[in-house]
Chains A and B, each alone.
Chain A
Amino acid sequence: MPHMRLSLPGQLPMAPDDSGPARSPSPGVSRRPAQSAGEGSPEPRLRLVALRSALAGPFDLSLAAGTCAAIAGPSGSGKSLLLRMIADLDPNEGDVFLDGRERRGFTAPAWRRRAVYSAAEPGWWHDSVPPHFPPGAARELARALMPRLGLAATLFDSPVLRLSTGERQRLALIRALALDPPVLLLDEPTGALDQDSTAQVEAVLRERLAGGTAILIVTHSPEQAARLGQQRFRMHERRLESA
């Protein structure tokens, strides 16, 4: 698969603070360099530089490993557009870096396995649950995560159509978590959940943060934003504002 972009951005990638991003020749071999290794100034896990499209932006954002940014804002203000652009699901310009490595150095599927977008309304492409998880380690991880999010293990074998909205939402989150990505882009992951389930989801997310994952979360709940987000933003007319 070619992974060059149609149009190169007008400007060069901005010079980083230190000597330069580690340009690994083979993207994706080691993807979780210890941010606590004591190097001078580690690259942020996720960095956006003038990320924009015809519909939204430009966005600039720097998210360190193990931190979470919460985005609030009215419907249609561009929150989902931002997450989709980072995941490269919509056409966009500008630069995105993962641990200092440019997005365009990854094939699109390889990038999306590292910056996993979980939509507010998850899609399902099979009648039963298991085919939504790649067989092997990821499926085992998914099974292990289910009780932690308050889902009965038997749900794994029931038809998707018989699951409740909240159950589907948690399963969709598990789909993303099962890939164990360094960056999670979560669009209202607890929108359909009650308080207890929300607390369970947040506990798992906190665990991921402690493991170095960077999380960008869209949430309508100021409490959730306060509980999870080291950085808090408000999307206003398709631009990010610090909240």
Chain B
Amino acid sequence: MNPILLSPFDVAIAAVLILVDAGLSLALRLGLHRQLVWAALRMVVQLVLVGFILRTVFALASPPVTLAVVLVMVAIAGREVAARPEQRLGRFGNYAVGGSAVAIATFLTAILALTTAIRPQPWYDPRYAIPLAGIVLGSVLNGASLALDSMLGGVLRERTAIEAQLALGVPFYQAIRGLLRASVRRGLLPIINQMSAAGIITLPGIMTGQILAGMDPLEAAKYQILLIFLLSGGAGLAAVVVVYLVAFRLTDDRQRLRIDRLTAKG
């Protein structure tokens, strides 16, 4: 494998495309040029910074530092999940639900992959653990976020239907089963779409990256397949954890629907 290394000048040439976009925005009065250039600058700074941090962390090869980096990533993803819906669960419920779902799904999926399929030596080698946790996190974030949004919006919309069942003596978890199912489904749809489109509509990012880096396409495909399985597992797990944690927080010991624990954003 002999990756073609990029010089800063190579990158600068690609940046011309951003300037072209900005020019278009000016010419067509889209009002996007400022936003576009600002976002591009942010992206460059963020990625270069991450590159430096990862280089340092890889060199340190210290398990506590690796764990700390992964935990920070998990916390940021959990916060994103919590912030997305229009509704808030009482007592920082969104953060508790989002954070624990993201953490559980990411750690289980990443550790499974590191100890069984990829098996670096040692299994917590940051060069593998951190990128893997990162890519799993992206999928987990998506799954958890959609499931949480669907649950919180759905429970408000279907309140009378759920309470009508409760009033007839239907147990709580049976009364909200339809909503749980719909929410998990919603969390899984993006990854299902991704799987069915993989390779035909888009060449997945990891595979592209590895081919560009000089890897044999079939080897790259195997890697990509493994990763997509991990992403599906992570997203599904996250969605399931989210819906059950939300359900648990929306009921009490008398199997009521505690809609009073839900407030509008603001």
Interface residues of A (CB under 8 A from B): 1-6, 87-91, 107-114, 116-119, 121-125, 172, 175-176, 179
- Contact yes or no, B253 A6, CB < 8 A: yes
Indicate which residue in B164, B169, B253, B256 contacts A125 across the interface (CB closer than 8 Å). B164
- Contact yes or no, A124 B161, CB < 8 A: yes
With contacts A123-B161, A125-B162 known, is A118 near B254, CB below 8 A?
no
Tell me the nearest residue of chain A to B174, going by C-beta: A109
A-B contact pairs, 11 of them (CB 8 A): A1-B253, A5-B253, A108-B255, A108-B256, A109-B171, A112-B166, A112-B167, A116-B168, A119-B167, A125-B175, A175-B168
Q: Mark B253-266, 1 if CB is under 8 A from A, else 0.
A: 11111101000000
Would you list which residues of chain B between 126 and 161 have a CB under 8 Å from chain A? 158-161
Indicate which residue in A3, A5, A90, A179 contacts B169 across the interface (CB closer than 8 Å). A179
- Nearest Cβ on chain B to A67's Cβ, whole angstroms: 22
- Contact yes or no, A89 B168, CB < 8 A: no
Docked pose: A68 CA to B166 CA in angstroms: 23
Q: B178 interface residue, CB < 8 Å from A?
A: yes
- Nearest Cβ on chain B to A193's Cβ, whole angstroms: 19
- Contact yes or no, A122 B168, CB < 8 A: no
- Contact yes or no, B169 A88, CB < 8 A: no
- Contact yes or no, A88 B254, CB < 8 A: yes
List the B side residues contacting A3 at CB < 8 Å.
253-254
- Contact yes or no, B164 A112, CB < 8 A: no
Choose among B162, B163, B168, B170 the residue with the greatest number of A CB atoms under 10 Å from its CB. B168
List the B side residues contacting A176 at CB < 8 Å.
167-168
List the B side residues contacting A110 at CB < 8 Å.
169
Docked pose: A154 CA to B5 CA in angstroms: 75
Q: B165 interface residue, CB < 8 Å from A?
A: yes
Tell me the nearest residue of chain A to B159, going by C-beta: A123
- Contact yes or no, B161 A1, CB < 8 A: no
Docked pose: A226 CA to B169 CA in angstroms: 30
- Contact yes or no, B164 A119, CB < 8 A: yes
List the B side residues contacting A122 at CB < 8 Å.
160, 164
Choose among B161, B172, B254 the residue with the greatest number of A CB atoms under 10 Å from its CB. B254
List the A side residues contacting B257 at CB < 8 Å.
89
Docked pose: A4 CA to B253 CA in angstroms: 7
- Contact yes or no, B163 A6, CB < 8 A: no
- Contact yes or no, A123 B254, CB < 8 A: no
Tell me the nearest residue of chain B to A114, going by C-beta: B169
Choose among A5, A90, A123, A179 the residue with the greatest number of B CB atoms under 10 Å from its CB. A123
- Nearest Cβ on chain A to B154's Cβ, whole angstroms: 12
List the A side residues contacting B170 at CB < 8 Å.
109
List the A side residues contacting B169 at CB < 8 Å.
109-114, 116, 179
Docked pose: A59 CA to B258 CA in angstroms: 22
- Contact yes or no, A116 B252, CB < 8 A: no
List the B side residues contacting A107 at CB < 8 Å.
255
